[in-house]
Structure 1
Amino acid sequence: MSIHLTSLVNQLRAILGKMEVALGTIADAIVWTGSDGKIQWCNTAFDKLVNRPHILVLNSKLSDLLFLSLADEAVAPESYPNMRVLAGEYEITEEYECRDGKHRSLILEISGNCVELAGGDRSSTLVIRDVTQAKHWETEGYLAQQKQAETLSLLQATLESTADGIIVVNQEFNVAVFNQKFIQMWSIPESLLQPSQSNERFKFMSEQTRDPEAFIARVKELFYKFPEQEAFDLVEMKNGRVFERYSQPQWKGDKIIGRVWSFRDITARQQVEKALSESEIKFRRIVENSNDIISLIDLEGRISYISPNLAKLTGYETTELEGIPFADFIHPDDLPSCLDAVNRVVTTGERLEVEYRARLKDGSWQWQATNLAKTDDIDGQQFSL
């Protein structure tokens, strides 16, 4: 061999050596098999993948080192990626399941290419990537997204099922969360819920209240002056409606990131309370101006209410009798007939009139006639005298 040829051979060996080192540093496994399916060359990553010494890998069949399966069915040796590459049947990249001798389960992404050699020989080059961890992360990410979607769906369903109008705004006063009840209560166009519309939304809401300036001042006070404060108050609207307003800060760890506002329409409740209050005033006026004494006795026989005109007829003040058993003021000779009448009224619900002698404050006795009737209230049954 001439010196020139020897030099070229040495240069070629040096280049091949460098290529061997370079390919050995690649994380993907690379393997070269001949037409007989036996391994002619592989890099270090492939040795690690099959967990065999390099010397034992060479000239072994790929199907004897990698135990591949598809859909839980073992791949036949003639259907291995390298054999399919040689037959021109292999796709660019396919995924396989792989189990080694330790029953370790892997997911391998295998790319293949057919190489035509001098003399017409054909070889298969495979690049094998272990995507097990990536698939695991992908699955975990998908499950996390599903869990997050379920949580958000549950949160939204909860928000929509409440009778309150709810809105959550961040520190920039942009809307983070709201429910349809909020939109209905305030008649807000959804266009005003966009981030760029915070000032317009605030103005739109305040102009519906009887005191826009007070509404704005309270919101700003809670946002900027007392951000950690919880608040509860009433908002009167120009159209006569009344909203309960509850607000509290939204926390993330130890940091306030926004504020939650809850509105409840209590217009109907206030109207009922007003009607009850007016009815009670009328009732008291009637009772207080009546010539008769009106009293309520509970089921234990104690006086729970007695009209103020009591003082004129008996000399007692109402506070002296309330909570005292009514039997204490009945003449002993008349008490049995009174108790019998009371028992009949309570058990049968009929109305009765009974006459008896009642003790006045000065100790004298006075004949009185009383109408007995059973009545119900929120605390239980009572009868009136």
Structure 2
Amino acid sequence: MNIYSAEAYAFNPQEVELLTELTDSLSFGIVALRAEQALRESEQRYRLLAENINDLVCLHDRDRRYLYLSPSCKSLLGYDDDELIGKDPYILFHPDDRDRVAEEFRAAILGKNHISITYRINQKSGNYIWLETLTKPILDQAGNLIKIQTTSRDVT
């Protein structure tokens, strides 16, 4: 940002210093406002996507516990997300599917690659539905597992 005067040498050194500090502050404020606006727009796009997608998108800690469940959790499984946050999803899996899913899940995490798993999950109503879940490990820069992202869809 610059300040101009029609007169040559219109500002003394103290005024130049003050005006420089003022323009620096204004420039910083403008940049901060633009960043804030960009963040708001990004959050709006994310919210639009998260609230309108039919797939269940989840984030899990390294011990598989739910950290985040998309709003579709309610329509797909009947649970509010706060009923499942901190819980292991395996409590909802059909008993006949648990061992197989655990083995496939472990292979995905150890291999640090994406896999698709199909299994039955218990809805809040007590009914089982079939889900197909894509499991994706989230790694730090050193390649260590930090979180797990899953995306599931009803294939009943």
Q: Does 1:310 align with 2:73?
A: yes
CA positional deviation for 1:202: 7.9
What does the per-residue CA deviation read over 1:129-182, in whole Å, with 9 as the maximum and x for residues that have no partner?
xxxxxxxxxxxxxxxxxxxxxxxxxxxxxxxxxxxxxxxxxxxxxxxxxxxxxx
TM-score, normalised via structure 1 length: 0.32
Q: Does 1:382 align with 2:129?
A: no
Q: Distance in 2 between matches of 1:377 and 1:271?
A: 29
Q: Distance in 2 between matches of 1:339 and 1:285?
A: 33
What does the per-residue CA deviation read over 1:161-208, in whole Å, with 9 as the maximum and x for residues that have no partner?
xxxxxxxxxxxxxxxxxxxxxxxx988x99513xxxxxx458746874
C-alpha spacing 1:270/1:346, structure 2 compared with 1 (3 Å): farther
Q: 1:301 aligns with which of 47, 50, 64?
A: 64
Q: Distance in 1 between matches of 2:79 and 2:86?
A: 14
Percent identity over paired residues: 26
TM-score, normalised via structure 2 length: 0.72
Q: Distance in 2 between matches of 1:346 and 1:303?
A: 16
Question: What SS does the aligned partner of 1:301 have?
Answer: coil
| Structure 1 residues 356-367: aligned runs within 5 Å | 356-367=119-130
Q: Distance in 1 between matches of 2:102 and 2:116?
A: 12
What does the per-residue CA deviation read over 1:223-275, in whole Å, with 9 as the maximum and x for residues that have no partner?
xxxxxxxxxxxx4x2xxx225xxxxxxxxxxxxxxxxxxxxxx93x7655654
Q: Tell me what 2:45 maps to.
A: 282
Q: 2:13 aligns with which of 189, 192, 201?
A: 192
Q: Distance in 1 between matches of 2:140 and 2:48?
A: 20
Q: Distance in 2 between matches of 1:289 and 1:366?
A: 21
Segments of 4+ moved more than 2 angstroms: 200-209, 269-281, 375-378
User: Unpaired runs of 5+ in structure 1?
Assistant: 1-184, 194-199, 210-234, 244-265
C-alpha spacing 1:273/1:381, structure 2 compared with 1 (3 Å): farther
Q: Tell me what 1:28 maps to.
A: none
Q: Distance in 2 between matches of 1:382 and 1:206?
A: 44
C-alpha spacing 1:207/1:304, structure 2 compared with 1 (3 Å): closer
CA positional deviation for 1:294: 0.9
Q: 1:351 aligns with which of 114, 123, 127?
A: 114
| Structure 1 residues 25-36: aligned runs within 5 Å | none
CA positional deviation for 1:369: 1.4
Question: What SS does the aligned partner of 1:342 have?
Answer: helix
Q: Distance in 1 between matches of 2:111 and 2:96?
A: 25
Read off the aligned partner of 2:28 and give its amino acid letter: V
The alignment yields a C-alpha RMSD, in angstroms, of 3.4
Q: Tell me what 1:326 maps to.
A: 89
Count matched residues.
141
Q: Distance in 1 between matches of 2:38 and 2:149?
A: 24
Read off the aligned partner of 2:13 and give its amino acid letter: L
User: Unpaired runs of 5+ in structure 2?
Assistant: 4-8, 151-156
C-alpha spacing 1:325/1:207, structure 2 compared with 1 (3 Å): closer
**Contact persistence 2:64–2:148 (CA under 8 A):** no
* Larger RCO (CA within 8 A; separation ≥ 6): 2
Q: 1:342 aligns with which of 105, 108, 114?
A: 105
C-alpha spacing 1:345/1:272, structure 2 compared with 1 (3 Å): farther
Question: What SS does the aligned partner of 1:355 have?
Answer: strand
